[in-house]
């Protein structure tokens, strides 16, 4: 059994994406706008048709709608023939996703169901997707089906491998291509075995071995400029030339902040995922924390959800494991040395003294507890041996395993973890 798993793991390819800025000519940009417009048009056409069919007692599906659209495409929408059929497909694909999400939320009984809405020309994001078979990438050049001249790319593609698809989109006045490539994961040996990661507000993260990643709080630093631009925008008359100018300035500013934050997070998550094989991290309820307004700005700033996402896919890439610890696990309140729980610990207390006499740094203590709990979960589930053996034989044992502590420890929670 284990052998079979190893055999299949050896051939596992992984998806990687590289987003590259495009330098289209004016004509090419016109075509990109048309293609995005086509995707938006078919989405709206499909949504209107869906509603009509539903009211007529039929059971609509995006797949059938696409076939119906293609049957009348040449005759009724001849302009769309100049654009790749992938742009048409994008609309129906998005429609399918929108309804799947809507049905899922209905099933879960969510308060916000989010019935799919029509996409407006002005406010919707301009983007479309193309299959890998319909594009060619050669050095700095991206050739798209039905577009005569190749588009210049600011960078060359970082990965070697088969292009599965590309997504082309516009953001704050620039066009980008995100190239999805299937690549073989690298042979990698982690220098360290395990680590606990405490994501925080004061520091971006504190590791169980005492390493700290600084939180740059980018948004706060530049809050003043943001406020000035927002004030400037509110003074302008909506829709006027000056208003548009300030709005573009604001969009560029937001994008720069987002890019810098992302860069900071990427550096940290690559470091952690490539250094430590077993990574314990808290499954924080980000949505719930954002509702606490006092914490909201700092948390949105640090981007916990994005950090967790990056850790899990990068860990899979390097052949490691991310273990998510239940959000109700008392990581900060638990003394790492004696197992006492300090029920009175407040958010403001950075350091506390336990009954056993230990002086504990809040974040470091939490990181140590998270690491131990992660190892406990892995040991109980029998994964530890596999993790240790897998890489030793030069074989990728599996990708990241997300162990949900709440499902595994239902009856033990919130017990004190045994000392490993
Ligand atoms: Zn203690």
Per-residue pLDDT at 406 exceeds 60: no
Among 131-145, 237-251, 334-348, name the one with the lowest average pLDDT: 334-348
CB under 8 Å to 297, separation ≥6 — which residues?
219, 220
pLDDT digits (tens, 9 = 90+) for 379-388: 776 665 555 5
- Bond into 414 cis (ω within 30): yes
Per the annotation, the verdict on 89 as an active-site residue is no
Backbone angles phi, psi at 176, to 5 degrees: -135, 155
Ligand 1 centre to CA of 51 (Å) is: 62
Task: Please calculate the CA angle 188-190-195 and round it to the nearest 5 degrees.
Answer: 145
Ligand 1 centre to CA of 360 (Å) is: 9
Kindly give the pairing relationship between strand 135-138 and strand 141-144: antiparallel
Least Cα distance to 273 among 376, 180, 375, 195 occurs for 195
Per the annotation, the verdict on 198 as an active-site residue is yes
**272 against 215, higher pLDDT:** 272
**What confidence score (pLDDT) does residue 37 get?**
96
Distances (CA, A) of 69 to 58, 211, 335: 17, 57, 63
Ligand 1 centre to CA of 340 (Å) is: 5
Q: CA 206 to CA 149: how far, in whole Å?
A: 50
Q: CA 384 to CA 37: how far, in whole Å?
A: 51
Burial track 48-75 (b if 16+ CB lie within 10 A, e otherwise): ebbeebeeeeeebebeebbeebeeebee
**What confidence score (pLDDT) does residue 293 get?**
57
**What confidence score (pLDDT) does residue 21 get?**
96
Ligand 1 centre to CA of 363 (Å) is: 15
Burial (CB < 10 A; 0-12, 13-18, 19+), residue 221, is exposed
Q: Coil, strand or helix: which one is 46?
A: helix
**What confidence score (pLDDT) does residue 260 get?**
83
Band the pLDDT of 220: cuts 50, 70, 90: low
Task: Enumerate the domain spans of the chain.
Answer: 14-183, 192-216+266-408
Ligand 1 centre to CA of 335 (Å) is: 5
Say if residues 137 and 179 touch (Cβ distance below 8 Å): yes
Q: CA 153 to CA 135: how far, in whole Å?
A: 13
CB under 8 Å to 384, separation ≥6 — which residues?
278, 375, 378
Q: CA 403 to CA 408: how far, in whole Å?
A: 8
Ligand 1 centre to CA of 210 (Å) is: 19
C-alpha gyration radius of the chain = 25
**320 against 63, higher pLDDT:** 63
Per-residue pLDDT at 319 exceeds 60: yes
User: Which residues are in the CB-under-5-Å shell of ion ligand 1?
Assistant: 335, 337-338, 340, 354, 356, 358
Say if residues 138 and 150 touch (Cβ distance below 8 Å): yes
Residues 283, 326, 363, 371: which is the catalytic one?
363
Provide the strand spans (E) within 37-112.
none
Ligand 1 centre to CA of 358 (Å) is: 6
Q: CA 373 to CA 417: how far, in whole Å?
A: 6
Ligand 1 centre to CA of 369 (Å) is: 12
Ligand 1 centre to CA of 359 (Å) is: 8
**What confidence score (pLDDT) does residue 7 get?**
41
**What confidence score (pLDDT) does residue 108 get?**
87
Q: Is 361 left (phi over 0), alpha (psi -120 to 50) or beta?
A: beta
**What confidence score (pLDDT) does residue 383 get?**
60
Backbone angles phi, psi at 107, to 5 degrees: -65, -40
Residues 282, 283, 371, 409: which is the catalytic one?
282
Q: Coil, strand or helix: which one is 396?
A: coil
Averaged pLDDT, 210-219? 79
Per the annotation, the verdict on 282 as an active-site residue is yes
Q: CA 138 to CA 152: how far, in whole Å?
A: 10
Report DSSP letters for 133-164, one per residue.
Answer: GGEEEETTEEEETT-SSPEEESS--S--SEEE
Among 92-101, 250-259, 388-397, name the one with the lowest average pLDDT: 388-397
Per-residue pLDDT at 413 exceeds 50: no
Say if residues 198 and 363 touch (Cβ distance below 8 Å): yes
pLDDT digits (tens, 9 = 90+) for 99-116: 999 999 999 888 888 899
Ligand 1 centre to CA of 266 (Å) is: 35
Residues in the chain, overall count: 420
Max mean pLDDT among 174-178, 200-204, 243-247, 250-254 falls in 174-178
pLDDT digits (tens, 9 = 90+) for 130-164: 999 999 999 999 999 999 999 999 999 998 888 99
pLDDT digits (tens, 9 = 90+) for 25-35: 999 999 999 99
Q: CA 81 to CA 320: how far, in whole Å?
A: 47
Q: Coil, strand or helix: which one is 219?
A: helix
Band the pLDDT of 411: cuts 50, 70, 90: very low
Residues 198, 283, 301, 324: which is the catalytic one?
198
Provide the strand spans (E) within 210-310.
212-214, 276-282
Ligand 1 centre to CA of 339 (Å) is: 6
Q: CA 360 to CA 332: how far, in whole Å?
A: 10
Band the pLDDT of 300: cuts 50, 70, 90: low
């Amino acid at each position: 059994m284990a052998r079979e798993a190893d055999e299949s793991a050896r051939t596992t390819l992984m998806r990687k994406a590289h987003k590259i800025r495009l330098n289209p000519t004016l004509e090419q940009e016109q075509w990109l706008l048309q293609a995005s417009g086509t995707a938006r048009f078919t989405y709206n056409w499909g949504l209107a048709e869906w509603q009509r069919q539903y009211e007529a007692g039929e059971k609509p599906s995006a797949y059938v709608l696409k076939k119906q659209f293609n049957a009348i495409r040449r005759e009724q929408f001849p302009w769309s023939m100049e654009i790749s059929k992938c742009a048409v497909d994008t609309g129906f694909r998005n429609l399918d996703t929108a309804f799947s999400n809507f049905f899922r939320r209905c099933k879960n009984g969510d308060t916000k169901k989010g019935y799919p809405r029509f996409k407006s020309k002005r406010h919707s994001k301009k983007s479309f997707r193309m299959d890998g078979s319909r594009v060619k990438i050669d050095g700095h050049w991206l050739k798209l089906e039905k577009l005569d001249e190749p588009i210049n790319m600011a960078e060359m593609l970082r990965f070697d491998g088969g292009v599965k698809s590309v997504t082309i989109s516009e953001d704050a006045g620039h066009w980008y291509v995100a190239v999805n490539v299937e690549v073989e994961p690298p042979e990698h040996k982690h220098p360290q075995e395990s680590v606990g990661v405490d994501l925080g507000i004061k520091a971006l993260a504190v590791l169980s071995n005492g390493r700290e990643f600084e939180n740059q709080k980018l948004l706060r630093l530049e809050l003043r400029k943001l406020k000035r631009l927002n004030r400037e925008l509110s003074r302008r008359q909506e829709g006027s030339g000056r208003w548009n100018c300030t709005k573009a300035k604001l969009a560029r500013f937001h994008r720069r902040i987002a890019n810098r934050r992302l860069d900071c997070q990427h550096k940290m998550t690559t470091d952690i995922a490539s250094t430590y094989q077993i990574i314990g991290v808290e499954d924080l309820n980000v949505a719930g924390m954002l509702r606490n307004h006092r914490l909201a700005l700092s948390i949105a700033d640090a981007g916990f959800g994005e950090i967790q996402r990056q850790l899990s896919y990068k860990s899979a890439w390097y052949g490691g494991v991310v273990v998510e610890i239940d959000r109700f696990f008392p990581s900060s309140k638990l003394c790492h040395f004696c197992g006492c729980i300090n029920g009175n610990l407040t958010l403001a207390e950075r350091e506390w003294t336990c009954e056993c006499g230990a002086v504990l740094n809040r974040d470091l203590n939490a990181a140590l507890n998270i690491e131990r709990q992660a190892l406990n979960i892995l040991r109980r589930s029998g994964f530890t041996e596999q993790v240790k053996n897998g890489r030793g034989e030069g074989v990728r044992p599996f990708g990241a395993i997300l162990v949900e502590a709440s499902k595994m420890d239902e009856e033990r929670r919130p017990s004190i973890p045994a000392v490993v």
